Amino acid sequence: MLKNKSGLLVALSVIILVFGGYLLFPPKEVRESAKVCKNIPVEQVCYSGVEGKTALEILKANEKVETQSTSYGDFVTTINDRKADSTKEFWGFYVNGKLAAEGAGTYKTKDSDVVVWKIDPFTN
């Protein structure tokens, strides 16, 4: 019986060390994403990409989202009850600090991507 307890203690110690090390020294991608997402305004949404998933899939899985179907795909109109005023603004999404060049429903993210959604004004 004592042998089983010491084996269990060793196993638990290893698990704690492994996960504790990950929390204290996360991979660079996680550190960078957390750094970028840490100080964003309340009306913005920030998350890390997930290899092969679209920006829209990840957004819908983690936030309350409303979309409008268009011929170009789904257009995000509301995130977490903040509706963009369609006469003057829209929800824009940025990948690694740059406005995305394609729709959120088609953009396949990478684990290293940092995606930020924010309200942008329409410009003339």
Domain of 87, CATH number, reads: 2.170.130.30
Report pLDDT for 93. Answer: 92
Residue 3 domain-assigned (yes or no): no
pLDDT along the chain (124 residues), means of 10: 61 56 47 57 84 94 92 91 93 93 94 93 81
Report pLDDT for 31. Answer: 42
Note whether 26 and 106 are within 8 A (CB): no
Domain extent for 65: 40-121
Report pLDDT for 41. Answer: 65
Q: Which of 88, 68, 93, 70 is nearest to 78 (CA)?
A: 68
Pairing status of strand 73-79 against strand 82-83: antiparallel
Report pLDDT for 122. Answer: 86
What total number of domains does the chain contain? 1
Cα–Cα distance, 33 to 117 (Å, whole number) = 14
